[in-house]
Amino acid sequence: MDNPGKFYITTPIYYVNARPHIGHTYTTIACDAIARRQRMLGVDTWFLTGTDEHGQKIERSAAAAGCTPREFADRISGEFRALWDRMGVTYDDFIRTTEPRHARGVQALFARLQERGYIYKGSYSGQYCVFDELYVDAAEPGAPCPECGRPTETVHEENYFFKLSAMQERLLKYYGEHPDFIRPETRRNEVVSFVRGGLRDLSVSRTSFKWGIPVPNDPKHVIYVWLDALANYMTALGFGSDDPKDRARLARYWPADVHMIGKEIVRFHCVYWPAFLMAADLPLPKSIIAHGWLLFEESKMSKSRGNIVRSETILDTLGQDALRYFLLREIVFGQDGSFSFDALVQRFNSDLANGIGNLASRTLSMIARYFGGEVPYPSASERAPADEAIGALAQQTITDFHAQFEQFQFSRALETAWSLVAAVNKYIVENEPWSVAERDDQDSRARLATILYTSAEALRVVTALVHPVIPEATAKIWTQLGLGEIRQMDLRELAWGQLQLGTRLGAVEAVFPRADKSMVERMQQMEQQRSAEITKTDETKAAAATQAETAPALADSSGGGVVEKITIDDFLKVELRVGQIKVAEKVKGADKLLRMEVDIGTEVRQIVAGIAKAYEPEKLVGRKVVIVANLQPRKLRGLESNGMIVAASLGDDGLPVLAGFLEDIPVGAKLK
Ligand SMILES: [Zn+2]
């Protein structure tokens, strides 16, 4: 099943647990640039993006934000879509895993795997990482997750299992026969050695939460989020539908030509997904391309580091072309790359403002001034070796750019295009058309025409090549060149010397005004303000309790003055124990208080604490906390509180943050 003349490309569907940031933008614009170029090559192209919305993590995040999982997913998914729309991303479809068309397709795939004998019912007891939605095999209770390092939780579940173990040899054979299936090479090698190490059957259903797609005929179970999510690449085309239109689209575009992913989800895409497809007897995608991480000034962007950069800041200042160009030019695709505002502004000025922007404005304004805005005739007699050299370089640039782009070497392809820009800018400086224009003889006039024709033609070539990467500015330059709509341009036919003589230029205006030095500072300030706003909205929802109704804190972080020293004996008077919250509920009439029943090993205590604005009671059940066990009982709102929960106190409002442990620890253990 191979469909020549079509091209189907996908981004990963983004998990709605996090707001869109520049890392998501990076993946999306890489796909957008590829899709735009395919269309310019006359290929029938389908570009899919979307959001992944199920799973326990979303259920918990929604509870923390005080809304339903559906409302939570709607909000974040909407933010992704709005950002792509604002950036003019040319996706053909946006799939959400909460849509009926997706659920129908996932259930059809599940049923198909069941019918073919690849899914069976079994039971699992062991460790589970909620963050990665992943079972951790052969681990001790509480062992850290091998993927993310967070503590795992012990679960006992009756589940459906997929016979992944049966696919090991078939997968290895497939990787061997299709060397381009996984790229780059380093990722491919990792996958091959992982599969060689042996595959265990994969649990593909959950009963521990509800927010997912039910297993067909067994709605107690929801389908494993990764089986659910991966299927989007087919359900979006119409897999599982009987509608002839959907079936035709599926037949037309599947298998995908490119699944673009980040390197952290390689295993799911390169092992599980092909295994599901093989078991279901469906065609496999042609290639899976993994890019590296986008670091911020050399360190990984993360919520906890607070160094997440949002695309909006750059869109508001330098515009989308600047962001697109920077990410594809600066980062060697496949490797980790670094983002910084300094580097962004530097690139913007050197390559866009002084590079292609300068080439366009000087060439077009001289044609306007000296030739009344009509592309002049390049004289045959007044031709110099320098003119021929530009023509030859442009022709070579076309060949090289295509070859490099095809290999996903965006950075090299852009470097190639900008060598031509630099060469033409140099050519203009050396040939001084402005001086030639001052001489009024026939030969000089012919020479001037040749120089400006050569410059304009080189500009046309570069503009066409890089349109998929910087669509806005190149569309403007194209119009200024008098060539109409750049989207109509057929990239297959691009060659030197096609600029029609006498073409009338459009109105000439600068496309990339230079950014001054204050721009970096401005963007940093916008970014700080933006993350402050976001933190504020998130935390007012999740937190805000005062010290007043909390039992006295052990250590007051807000003081900063001199604290009287105590002896070890004084400290030993305080009995600190590990407790586990069994019951947690709001206290009527007191919006800051929670009533809890806490198991401290020897007994279950009632403790009342002022943490209601920071923690949803449902989220606390099962959580291990530190208790001051030998505190005099006291009454809060008529309820006896027998002990105190240890928490840090944050900021002026004294937001409580519960103390906890990274390792698993038995209830009742003493702290000393
Ligand atoms: Zn994990």
DSSP string, 524-593: HHHHHHHHHHHHHHHHHHH----GGGSPPPSS-TT--SPPPP--HHHHHTS-EEEEEEEEEEEETTEEEE
CA 176 to chain centroid, in Å, comes to 30
Give percent of the chain with pLDDT exceeding 90. 61
Q: CB atoms < 10 A from the CB of 595, how many? A: 22
Helices (H) and strands (E) in the chain — how many of each? 23, 27
**Distance from the CA of 55 to the center of ligand 1, in angstroms?**
14
Compute the distance from residue 144 Cα to the ligand 1 centre, in Å: 8
Query: Whose CA is closest to 535, among 336, 271, 358, 305?
Result: 305
Distance from the alpha carbon of residue 228 to the mean position of ligand 1, in angstroms: 19
Interval between CA 151 and ligand 1 midpoint (Å): 8
Ligand 1 centroid, distance to 627 Cα (angstroms): 27
DSSP single-letter state for residue 132: T
Q: How far is the CA of 145 from the centre of ligand 1 (A)?
A: 5
Distance 614 CA to ligand 1 centre (A): 24
Instruction: Give the distance (Å) from ligand 1 centre to CA of residue 128.
Output: 8
Which DSSP state fits 504?
A: B
Q: How high is the pLDDT of residue 549?
A: 28
Tally the residues of the chain.
Answer: 672
Ligand 1: distance of its center to the CA of 296 in Å?
22
Residue predicted with more confidence, 158 or 553: 158
State the distance between the two ends of the chain, measured CA to CA, in whole angstroms: 67
- The two beta strands, 337-339 and 655-658, are unpaired
Q: Ligand 1 center to residue 240 CA distance, Å?
A: 32
Ligand 1 center–CA 150 separation, angstroms: 6
Q: How far is the CA of 29 from the centre of ligand 1 (A)?
A: 28
The residue behind tokens 């049923």 is: 111
Q: Residue 187 and residue 168: Cα distance in Å, rounded?
A: 18
pLDDT at 407: 94
* Pick from 38, 415, 542: nearest CA to 258: 38
According to the model, what pLDDT value does residue 298 have?
Answer: 64
Residue 507 CB coordination number (10 Å): 10
CA distance 362 to 256: 44
Which tokens is 670 given?
A: 């003493």
The per-residue pLDDT for range 444-466, each reduced to its tens digit, is: 999 999 999 999 999 999 999 99
In tens, the pLDDT along 26-81 reads: 999 999 999 999 999 999 999 999 999 999 899 999 999 899 999 999 999 999 99
Ligand 1 centroid to 129 CA: how many Å? 5
Residue 141 alpha carbon to ligand 1 centre in Å: 14
How much distance in Å is there from the Cα of 267 to the middle of ligand 1?
Answer: 14
Is the CB of residue 317 less than 8 Å from the CB of residue 324?
A: no
pLDDT tens for 473-517 read: 999 999 999 999 998 899 999 999 999 988 999 999 999 989 988
**pLDDT above 70 for 264:** yes
Ligand 1 center to 148 CA (angstroms): 4
Distance (angstroms) between ligand 1 centre and the Cα of 397 equals: 46
CB 399 within 8 A of CB 420: no
The closest alpha carbon to 204, from 103, 81, 122, 294, belongs to 122
Dist. CA 223–CA 109, nearest whole Å: 11
Q: Taking residues 283-287, what's their average pLDDT?
A: 98
Return the pLDDT at 554: 29
How far away, in angstroms, is 294 Cα from ligand 1 center? 20
Q: How far is the CA of 197 from the centre of ligand 1 (A)?
A: 20
Contact 523, 341 (CB under 8 A): yes
Q: pLDDT-based confidence at 472, cuts 50/70/90?
A: very high
Q: How far is the CA of 556 from the centre of ligand 1 (A)?
A: 33
Residues 231 and 109: beta-carbon distance below 8 Å:
yes
Please, how many CA atoms are within 13 Å of residue 73, restricted to the half-sphere of its CB?
24
In the reported structure, the alpha carbon of residue 218 is separated from the centroid of ligand 1 by a whole-number distance in angstroms of 28
Ligand 1 centroid–CA 149 distance in Å is 6
CA of 27 to the centre of ligand 1 (A): 22
* Single pTM value for the model: 0.78
Alpha carbon of 594 to ligand 1 centroid (Å): 30
| Ligand 1 centroid, distance to 458 Cα (angstroms) | 52
pLDDT value at residue 631: 83
Centre of ligand 1 to C-alpha 225, Å, is: 14
**Longest distance between any two alpha carbons in the chain, whole Å:** 106
**Ligand 1 center from residue 223 Cα (angstroms):** 19
- Given a contact cutoff of 8 angstroms between Cβ atoms, the answer to whether 86 and 122 are in contact is no
589 pLDDT more than 80: no
User: Across all residues in the chain, what is the average pLDDT?
Assistant: 89
Ligand 1 centroid to Cα of residue 60, in Å, is 15
Using the mean position of ligand 1's atoms as its centre, give its distance from the Cα of residue 442 in Å: 76
Among 113-122, 132-141, 288-297, 542-551, the least confident range: 542-551
Burial label for 669, CB within 10 Å (0-12, 13-18, 19+), is: middle
CA 142–ligand 1 middle distance (angstroms): 12
CA of 355 to the centre of ligand 1 (A): 45
Q: How far is the CA of 132 from the centre of ligand 1 (A)?
A: 4
- pLDDT (mean) for 239-260: 97
Please give the distance, rounded to the nearest whole angstrom, from the Cα atom of residue 134 to the centre of ligand 1. 7
Lowest mean pLDDT among 90-99, 150-159, 384-393, 414-423: 150-159
Q: How far is the CA of 662 from the centre of ligand 1 (A)?
A: 13
Q: How far apart are CA 169 and CA 195, in angstroms?
A: 9
Mean pLDDT, residues 522-533 taken together: 83
Higher pLDDT, 468 or 303: 468
The two tokens of residue 236 are 């979006």
Give pLDDT tens digits for 550-571.
Answer: 222 222 222 222 335 677 777 7
CA of 618 relative to ligand 1 center, distance in Å? 22
Check: CB of residue 624 under 8 Å from CB of residue 663.
Answer: no
Please give the distance, rounded to the nearest whole angstrom, from the Cα atom of residue 602 to the centre of ligand 1: 32
Q: Given this model, what pLDDT does residue 138 score?
A: 65
Contacts 24+ apart (CB under 8 A), 631-634: 631/551, 634/551
Phi, psi of 367 (to 5 degrees): -65, -40
The residue to which tokens 């592309």 are assigned:
375
- In what helix (H) or strand (E) does residue 218 lie, and over which residues does it extend? strand 218-223
Beta pairing, strands 218-223 & 258-262: unpaired
Interacting residues of 344 by C-beta distance below 8 A, sequence separation 6+: 314, 318, 322, 323, 326, 523
Lowest mean pLDDT among 73-87, 283-297, 413-427: 283-297
Residue 136 Cα to ligand 1 midpoint, Å, equals 9
3-state secondary structure of 18: coil
Q: Distance from the CA of 147 to the center of ligand 1, in angstroms?
A: 5
Banded model confidence at residue 648, pLDDT cuts 50, 70, 90? confident
Give residue 310's pLDDT. Answer: 85
How far is residue 182's CA from residue 385's CA, in Å, rounded to a whole number?
Answer: 46
Q: Tens digits of per-residue pLDDT, 612-622?
A: 888 888 888 88
Encode pLDDT of 182-231 as tens digits. Answer: 999 999 999 999 999 999 999 999 888 899 999 999 999 999 999 999 99
CA of 139 to the centre of ligand 1 (A): 13
Asked if residue 545 lies in contact with residue 610, where contact means CB atoms within 8 angstroms, the answer is yes
In the reported structure, the alpha carbon of residue 513 is separated from the centroid of ligand 1 by a whole-number distance in angstroms of 46
Contacts of 619-622 with C-beta under 8 Å, sequence gap 24+, read 619/60, 619/63, 619/64, 620/581, 620/584, 620/594, 620/596, 621/581, 621/582, 621/583, 621/584, 622/580, 622/581
